[in-house]
Structure 1
Amino acid sequence: MAVGFTPKFVEEYPLDNLSTAQFLVIVHESVNDLGWETSYVSPTGIIAYTANGVFGWNAIIRITIENDTATVKSSSAGSEMFDFGRNKKAVKSLVEAIDEFKSKLSAEDIEEKHLQLSANFPPAGDDYLKLPPQGTAEQINGFLTIFKPQPGYFVTPVLFNLNILVFILMAIKGVDILSPTVADLLQWGANFKPLTLDGQWWRLLTNVFLHIGILHLLLNMYALVYIGLLLEPHLGKLRFITAYLLTGLLASITSLWWHENTVSAGASGAIFGMYGVFLAMLTTDLIEKSTRRALLTSIAVFVGYNLLNGLKSGVDNAAHIGGLVGGLIIGYCFTLSLKKPADIRLKHSLIAILTIITLITCGWIYKAMPNDIGDYDKGMEMFTSNETRALEVYNMKGAPRPKVLTAIKKGIGYWNEDIKILERVDKLSVPEPIKMRDKKLKQYLDLRIKSFEIMYKAVDENTDKYNADMNYYNHQIQVIIDSMKAVE
């Protein structure tokens, strides 16, 4: 059972007495007999695709011929960690077919078929099989190597390690590693509309490095390493980190726009952005045809499945969609410079323009977005402050009558200010339970004003004849307070 970020199986096959041309024809016929698709043929080998359908397991088969030996390699085309021996089985099937065709084909057949193949050979200098591999998955030979920056895989492990470091620091500070509380997430920088729009714009980025439990972290980090191994060698360090941060920002602003009262955290928005970049590239000719087709199917199925899975509660699908769409746009823009790798000025100009446009767009949305929950909370802070001041009159036993009367008048003023606050916040878009509570608060304020007016008369006339009325209003006030506590 092969295991790795790109599961594979490799076997050496001696040509024995066959020439390179003869072996090439035999391999080509064997691939066709197995029902696989040949996507590339050159004098030095063949690249084929198993073509088992969108939802079947598929592999990229690469046969390269050097000296008197052929190297047969099967690599999983999907985003899997285990291949359960399927790559080995694919190689064995091809080897068996080769052995069979060695005795089937005559010398005349081989010569004729080689002439047909050679008509489509690429120029010697453009032989894809002679080029060094663009990916870095081959360099990841052990678990610890995924943590180590190396050529073609530099930014990905830095981001990987940073996410893990933040999680470890949270755990050291006492945050539950399985199910952190909302308060802990907010303290560490989660995205939450009332706070983010209240001047804490930095939450749009900090939440991208924050995770809601160890399972959330592990799933996102696997997806990050997988897409990083595939994509970073093509983009390079600067494009990769730019795309990651910009799509993470776009994911966060989309989540902010969509949700009124959701605490959001995780790298998945940025990771979806990188999958979007890769999807854009896979629709161009930047990547070899057989690899492009296999990966396009795999990545599209992965993205589709996760978007559908995100429809269930508790998943911030808005961030996923925002990151994905942003990634597609950035990916198509990047292809302009990727097709001209020698034009460094074009590369840097595109990065600068994309960064400026993204920051301006996000800044405009941030400024234009209403913060009804945040405004409501601010209003209720003023409400509570006024209430505290009004109730201070109950701590004035033994104070001179004029001073008490002044305090009662001020209290009535505070209650009236709270009524105005409720009228203002009633125009905001807040959840229905809050609106129901505000209706009870209005009743509470009306009773408070009436009780203070009776209290003023009692103190001013220095009489006990209003005690029954006072007790009635105080009882009604307590009933409302108790009913609101029961709902909370």
Structure 2
Amino acid sequence: MNCSDADDPTDNAPTNHEDGTSPESGNAARIGSELPITQKKREADDWALVLMSEGIASTILRITPVGGDIRRPHRGRVTFTVTVAPEFQERARGILDAWRIERAERALRIALPIPRGATTLETAMAYAFALTLLAFHLGLKSSGRWEPLIDLGRSQAVLVLEGQWWRLVTALSLHADIPHVLGNTLFGGFFLAAVAGRVGIGFALLGFLVSGTLGNLANALYYGSAHSSIGASTGVFGLVGILAGLAAWRRHHLHSTGRGAWVAFAAGLGIVAMLGSGGPRVDFTAHLFGLAAGGLAGVLVAIPLASRPEPGRIGQGIAMFLTLTCFVGAWHFARTA
């Protein structure tokens, strides 16, 4: 044969070892290739301690290459490994592999955001926002302005696609009747508080707005006709999606298989099926799109939260201000356009 390991001159380059052995001396060459190799002496010390705790004697080996092989990343630089007696090598490899996996998982658990739960103030603010939806509906009904504002603010697919983007936002604050608004007030406050316990109340409100708006947009694109919808439920199920996205990202990184992530999204779909699919006037597709938009937002939020602390009061205040400004601005456009 023209190519073989035996004919590779770089594999025969001499290597100096701390204990005086050479690559041709059997055990050292075999052990160095089968047990872990590291460029950090401290890590090799840890391996030796782990093996000692399991009753296996080992020696730290310093490998100083003389030649180099670009196909092998550790060639050409000083590395460290541990040597054990041949009869303990299989067991030592299993012990070190298990220890390294456990250490990596422990480090990841520390990095992942741990749900802290909403504070009393965040819970109160979540339900205050939800009750505002109820108060807004009752105020429109009592003043006789409900029907005119429904015409101005509902998310009608044709008009949205013609450029009346503000309807994507204003529709979130309108409701058809008392049962409709009461359901969104109750469940909206609950899920808003749940999201606030993970990202803060300001970003929870912003998540409601963004996922609800994107859900309405996707719904308009899906129908592309005279279909119209109103209600905060698209944003409420967006909050469910955010919770599912946060949980899915966390479960995916804490489990060796990908099934953990799908469990969270399956739970979100179950909630939509139970709460958002009954009745002839229920816009089920809007709920699904809200869930999907929220799920994407949840995953995107989880990534920076893994390496940065939760935004503080200033960040939460800015997010809350943006949310309220978008609602007020959308209604301004609806009334003046």
TM superposition score normalised by structure 1: 0.35
| Higher RCO, 1 vs 2 (CA within 8 Å, ≥6 residues apart) | 2
Bigger Rg, structure 1 or 2: 1
TM superposition score normalised by structure 2: 0.50
